[in-house]
Amino acid sequence: MLENEVIELERRIASISATSAPLTLHDPYAAWHQRQRTAQNTNDPTRALLVLPATHPYLEPVLRLIDDSVRQFVQHATEFGFFLHIDRFLDRVFSSGATPSNSLRILLNVVYLVGAKLSSNPQVQAQEQAYLARALHHLPAALPEDPRGALYVMQAEVILANYFYNASRQLEGAYHMNAAVSIAMASKLHMIRSARRSRSAADTTTYRLPPPADTLEEGERINGFWTVFILDRCWAVATGSAPAFTDDEANGTRIDTPWPLELASYYSHPFPSDFRTMKTVQSFLTGVEGDQNVARQSLLAMHAKAAILYEGATRLASRYNPSSQAAFLSLDNRIERFRQALPGLDRFDPGRVDTLRTALLIHTLAHCASIQLHTPLIQDHVTANSRTYQAAHAAVKTLRSIDVGILSCVNPFIGILWGSVGRVISQALNTVRRMRATGAASPSQGMPDEHLLQAEFDLLYRAMGQSAPFSPLMSAQIRIVRSSRAT
């Protein structure tokens, strides 16, 4: 193709050279056209705002595109792991007279990327790949310029990880997740308010964060750490890899950061200046702190605890043998106490669909921790008393308490969890039908009711179908669940 283009250009040059009186034309609007092409070709609305005069007619549609992208993102920010204070972030981008830093512009492009992904406006959708290309192009050089900007870059990496996982592009998702983990560890976010001194070689990091400017910024760092922690623990299970946060004192990775609060609480009820914590994860696993206050903790704290139990159950189940019975029973008891302590979905404001979706994810994650732990004990059939079926039944029961219409956009990992629940229900259906074929299927035989199982499967299938148009990952999980049902 290039050779053909060269031949055509040579032909045109020869044709022009053959004329006896060449005439050079000049575009009187060349400078303006160049600025407009730059803004349009890069598909970067913020660049267009910089190059266009305030009275130019092109400015209004650019602002509309920005408004649509940001609005779409804000409505679903939680599902993509946004941990910053959204109003402060938007103020820094749009209210400041200064040009945003490179790290802030990268994050803004990632916000536009997700907004374009979720938008129903074809003009906005058309911008998606351009936003992605710009963010990926500038990410490698983002950190050295602004140490405080590391938090923005980490936030961008978290959103990109969820974006790629949602697109069923696990390798790219893992790459950006590991980048977020690296920033969190190098910035020592796992040791915020630690009661111990660090002995890690990471003290010499080149992008160590300066002290937080205020209590809210410290809160953003705490919430940012736990958001990355959850991402690491959950997707380590999905990809069959070891989590990067090892929580190992010998390696300098022991997690001492306090449990996260709701962002507003860092202003209204800040930590006392001398407040210190240590062994946060270990204290939870051993039950030292108890579960009596779980319902009063932030959703992010509940989410982190559910992720700890889920990954721990998977790891223990993978090496299950009779000698690990004591550890098995201890973790099983820990999971059950946590599940019982979680507040029901009816405790949340029905008008806050973002919190409802997050609460649903937490409950499902806790139920799936039980499924992961007990799966090795399941042989060739599932009964009504099987712990895996009881957990799957509880997950679908939680799903019944909300309108599945709010699930058009969900955290990508809930697709993995629903796939696990769907396989258990399919296995139970297969067991019932197999037993019915032999004349042994009845409630007295400990078999789940077939009609109930079918209703549960249909509800789960309908919930998964809500987000499938926006999520290749969910579509893939639907195919797996459908295949297990057919089998």
- Residues contacting residue 389 through CB under 8 Å, at least 6 positions apart: 382, 383, 424, 425, 428, 448
pLDDT reported for residue 48: 42
Query: Confidence band (pLDDT; 50, 70, 90) for 43?
Result: very low
The pLDDT tens digits for 382-399 are: 666 788 989 999 999 999
Rounded Cα distance between 134 and 24, Å, is 36
- 3-class DSSP state of 166: helix
Q: What are phi and psi of 194, to 5 degrees?
A: -70, 140
> Where are the alpha helices (H) located in 119-240, listed in sequence order?
122-125, 128-138, 150-166, 170-186, 215-239
- Same domain assignment for residues 374 and 453: yes
Rounded Cα distance between 19 and 9, Å, is 16
Which residue from 173, 199, 176, 177 is spatially nearest to 188, judged by alpha carbons? 199
What's the structural domain count of the chain?
A: 2
- Same domain assignment for residues 345 and 446: yes
Q: Does residue 47 register a pLDDT over 80?
A: no
Task: Provide the angle, in degrees to the nearest 10, between the axes of the packed helices 215-239 and 170-186.
Answer: 140
- Same domain assignment for residues 324 and 472: yes
Mean pLDDT of 348-374: 94
pLDDT reported for residue 32: 44
Q: Is 461 exposed, middle or buried (0-12, 13-18, 19+ CB in 10 A)?
A: middle
Long-range contacts of 399-405 (CB under 8 A, 24+ apart): 399/360, 399/364, 399/459, 399/460, 399/463, 400/459, 401/344, 401/345, 401/346, 402/345, 402/356, 402/360, 404/459, 404/462, 404/463, 404/466, 405/466
The region of weakest confidence among 16-20, 127-131, 339-343, 473-477 is: 16-20
DSSP string, 85-132: -HHHHHHHHHT-SSPPPHHHHHHHHHHHHHHHHH---HHHHTTHHHHH
Quote the domain boundaries for residue 150: 36-194+213-249
The region of weakest confidence among 15-29, 82-96, 367-381 is: 15-29
> Where are the alpha helices (H) located in 258-342, listed in sequence order?
265-268, 280-285, 299-318, 325-341
Rounded Cα distance between 460 and 364, Å, is 12
Residue 8 lies in a domain: no
- Same domain assignment for residues 105 and 219: yes
Residue 319 lies in a domain: yes
Residue 306 lies in a domain: yes
Q: What are phi and psi of 382, to 5 degrees?
A: -120, 125
What mean pLDDT is reported for the chain?
83
CA angle at 318 for the pair 313 and 321, rounded to the nearest 5°: 100
Rounded Cα distance between 487 and 485, Å, is 5
Which residue from 312, 316, 318 is spatially nearest to 338, judged by alpha carbons? 312
- Same domain assignment for residues 236 and 307: no
- Same domain assignment for residues 131 and 49: yes
Q: What are phi and psi of 281, to 5 degrees?
A: -70, -45
- Same domain assignment for residues 243 and 315: no
Counting DSSP H helices and E strands in the chain, the numbers are 20, 0
Q: Name residue, tokens 């906005």.
A: 124
Q: Is 230 exposed, middle or buried (0-12, 13-18, 19+ CB in 10 A)?
A: buried
- pLDDT > 90: percent of the chain: 46
Which residue from 426, 366, 418, 423 is spatially nearest to 396, judged by alpha carbons? 418
- 3-class DSSP state of 195: coil
If you count them, how many residues does the chain have? 487
Mean pLDDT of 348-367: 94
Residue 354 lies in a domain: yes
Mean pLDDT of 259-263: 94
Residue 23 lies in a domain: no
Q: Name residue, tokens 């779980």.
A: 294
pLDDT reported for residue 381: 63
- Global pTM value: 0.84
pLDDT reported for residue 325: 86
- Same domain assignment for residues 188 and 308: no
Say if residues 303 and 362 touch (Cβ distance below 8 Å). yes
Torsion of CA 168, 79, 421, 280, to 10 degrees: 110
Query: Confidence band (pLDDT; 50, 70, 90) for 379?
Result: low
Mean pLDDT of 91-118: 82
Which residue from 59, 68, 155 is spatially nearest to 104, judged by alpha carbons? 155
- Same domain assignment for residues 42 and 164: yes
Residue 288 lies in a domain: no
Residue 257 lies in a domain: no
- Same domain assignment for residues 230 and 334: no
Q: Does residue 175 register a pLDDT over 50?
A: yes
- 3-class DSSP state of 194: strand
Helical (H) or strand (E) element with 366: helix 353-374
Residue 291 lies in a domain: no
pLDDT reported for residue 448: 74
- Same domain assignment for residues 322 and 466: yes
Rounded Cα distance between 43 and 137, Å, is 14
- Same domain assignment for residues 224 and 360: no
3-state SS, 33-46, equals: HHHHHHHHHHCCHH
- Residues contacting residue 419 through CB under 8 Å, at least 6 positions apart: 477, 480, 481
Question: Quick one: tokens of 481?
Answer: 């669940």
